[in-house]
Amino acid sequence: MRLLIALAALAGCLAAQQWEDRRTLRSLARGNLVHLSLQDAIALALENNLDVELQRLSPAIAETEYKRARAGAILRGIPMTVREGPRSAASADPLASPFTAGSESNLSIAGPTPISTGKLPPAFDPVLAGKLSRTHQSAPQLNSFTVGTSALISDTSSGSIGLQLGFLTGGEVTLGWENLHQSINHRRYDLNPYNSSSFGITFVQPLLRGFGRALNSRFIRVAGNNRQVSQLLLEQQVINTVAAVIRLYWDLAALNEEVRVRRQAVERAERLLADNQAQVEAGTRAPIEVVRAQAEVARTRRDLIAAEALLRQQENILKDYLSRQTVDSPALASLRLIPTEPLRVELPQTLPGLEALAEEALRTRPDLVQARLQLENARTLLEGARDALKPSVDLVAAVRNNGLAGAINPLTVPGAAPHAPDPLLVGGYGSALAQLLRRNFPDYSLGVQVSLPLRNRAAEADYARDRLTLRQQEIRLQQLEKQVRVEIANVLLALEQARAALEAAEQERRYQEQALAAEIEKLSVGASTTFLVIQYQRDLAQAQSAEVAARAACLKTMAALDRARGTLLARYGISLH
């Protein structure tokens, strides 16, 4: 069976009204019993587990980061936490996970203080801005000779529109079109009312600080890496969830077998009690033997009750992990889980060496791959801190066309000659626009503006700290790689120990069965005592329990090895695409 998780498809299935369309424990139930295979348990977890559902949002968050970076904005970051599954009802297994079970683990290798951003790139999204205004002004004049009147009164209508756009080179271009219509009682103006219009382009290009495509695209590259990181985090969460399901499932199967062992112990104790009662009635055995047998029946029933309670607890833990509903909901409360996979152990005869397994893990494990991407991001962001050490030298170029047209001013200073403006300037708004197109009145400017900090201690401190932070991240990655090698070495030792423990447990169980059978035979001919038979029965039950535990330990250790070497999902046919 191959399980497929499509990131885009699953991200679109988050609405609550779609949850009931997914496969649930109730859909697999026959009455109140759910006969559950390991593959079914894994499939249910991937469809319904809230830890996986939570992590499915990370790729969508990373897409928003990439979109933000392409606009030239600073990044906000993506969530870097994954969650482990819960512990079993039985005692905790140290091989269950390298982290604390049920806890959130932050996979970020960055320190508490992020690397400085340096100079921000220009805004790559164009910005269109406009303005319209109408103004009336009355200004009393100290000297009427200048304007020809004691109160200057004007009515002004203005409108402008501009476009600003940044480039990966660090440059910015600004386009502006401005228009003005003014009526004024100025007696010395040649034109009144008049229209003015201008269209200009200004281009600013950094030549040192803030220059270059590599520098100004750094946030885009980091956001692109973070898209991969988010998918690797989802993969890591799936690995955590699958590993937890495997561990919980085999613990459930082992507890189910433990209940069977305890029932057999009760049946053996009850048979012994019945035999003793018959012997006492026949007068061939002392009444105290019945009392001993009754005490053993009570003890085995107590052990059975404890095993059944532990089994129910494990069922609740697994039901909660495989479902969106709470265990006390009517849909789950009455369900009983029956594991269908036998505790059959097929250990591999040979395994690759420690070095080969470690190299495989370093190459394929998503937690290490995403850590390397984080380190690459840190190196990319360091370019901003390095660039801040440079002086600011900007090339500024501007060109502007101007136009002016209006009617001949009818107001004339007493005793002055009538106004005689240039015929080119006489006309309406269309005449002003025609001047723009003909470039009758152009402006040009070209210059360089320099800003040279005499002491750039803040930038120097940021760059020095960021280099140290980068070195810390390199060391953290090295620690993770060392930890992986230790983890694989420990799992290999645990697997070897589990194999030996299983062989010993199987032998002990066979010998205890033979010893009990022989002691029962001796008791039947009066050559043994009830006390000895009870002791052998206890030894057999203990040996059977030890064998069950050894089988479960082998299966869990094999899953732990698959997880440590990064092949767990491939083992169970799970693909993220």
Q: Say if residue 320 is in the same domain as residue 259.
A: yes
Nearest-angstrom CA–CA distance, 249 and 268: 29
DSSP reduced 3-state for 125: coil
Q: How sure is the predictor about 421, in pLDDT bands with cuts at 50, 70 and 90?
A: confident
Please give the DSSP secondary-structure letter assigned to residue 18: G
Q: Is residue 108 part of a domain?
A: yes
Residue 39 pLDDT > 70, yes or no? yes
Give the integer Cα–Cα distance in Å for 443 and 390: 32
Q: Which stretch of DSSP H or E encloses residue 310?
A: helix 288-321
In a domain, residue 386? The reply is: no
pLDDT reading at 318 higher than 90: yes
In the chain, the number of structural domains is 2
Tell me: do 26 and 111 sit in the same domain: yes
> Which residues sit opposite 154 in a β-bridge?
137, 184
Token pair, residue 282, equals: 């026949």
The answer to whether residues 186 and 106 belong to one domain is: no
354 and 467 both lie in a single domain: yes
Phi, psi angle pair for 116, to nearest 5°: -60, 150
| Residue 35, H or E segment | strand 33-36
CA angle 269, 270, 274 (to 5 degrees): 120
Last residue of a domain, one of 452, 485, 504: 452
Do the domain assignments include residue 220? no
Give the pLDDT score at 22: 67
User: pLDDT tens for residues 80-124?
Assistant: 999 999 988 876 454 444 434 467 889 999 888 888 888 899 999
- Total Cβ atoms within 10 A of residue 110: 20
Is residue 385 situated within a structural domain?
Answer: no
User: 105 lies in a domain?
Assistant: yes
Quickly list DSSP for 280-304.
HHHTSS-THHHHHHHHHHHHHHHHH
For residues 156 and 278, membership in a common domain is answered with no
- For the entire predicted model, the pTM comes to 0.86
Token digits of residue 196 = 């003015």
Cα–Cα–Cα angle for 183, 185, 188, rounded to 5 degrees: 110
CATH number of residue 15's parent domain: 1.20.1600.10
Does 519 score more than 70 pLDDT? yes
**Do both 194 and 318 map to the same domain?**
no
Percent of the chain with pLDDT over 70: 94
| Residue 532 belongs to a domain | yes
The string of pLDDT tens digits covering residues 444-493 is 999 999 999 888 999 999 999 999 999 999 999 999 999 999 999 999 99
The residue segments making up the domain with residue 195 are 127-166+171-209+392-452
CA-nearest of 471, 234, 439, 258 to 375 is: 471
Assess if residue 516 is contained within a domain.
yes
Query: Which residues lie below 8 Å from residue 342, measured CB to CB, with a gap of 6+?
Result: 253
What is the helix (H) or strand (E) element at residue 441, kind and residue range?
A: strand 441-451
Task: Check whether residue 257 and residue 350 sit in a common domain.
Answer: yes
Does one domain contain both 294 and 429?
Answer: no
399: β partners: 201, 444
Cα 359 to the center of its chain, rounded Å: 25
- The answer on 162 and 188 residing in a single domain is yes
In a domain, 222, yes or no: no
Per this entry, what is the length of the chain? 577
Please give the full DSSP string across 236-267, using - where no structure is assigned. Answer: HHHHHHHHHHHHHHHHHHHHHHHHHHHHHHHH
Kind of pairing, strands 104-106 and 81-83? Answer: antiparallel
Residue with tokens 């070897």: 496
For residue 530, give the DSSP letter.
Answer: H
The pLDDT tens digits for 177-228 are 999 999 999 888 889 999 999 999 999 999 999 999 999 999 999 999 999 9
State the pLDDT confidence band at 6, using cuts at 50, 70 and 90. Answer: very low
Q: Are residues 34 and 67 in the same domain?
A: yes
72: left (phi over 0), alpha (psi -120 to 50) or beta: left
CB distance 170 to 204 below 8 Å? no
Q: Are 373 and 399 within one domain? A: no
CA 451 centroid distance within chain: 42
Are 35 and 16 in a shared domain? yes
CA 16 – CA 58 distance, rounded (Å): 18
Q: What average pLDDT does the structure give for the chain?
A: 89
Torsion of CA 551, 555, 560, 565, to 10 degrees: 130
Q: Is the pLDDT of residue 235 over 60?
A: yes
In this prediction, residue 333 carries a pLDDT of 87
- CA terminus-to-terminus distance, the chain: 17
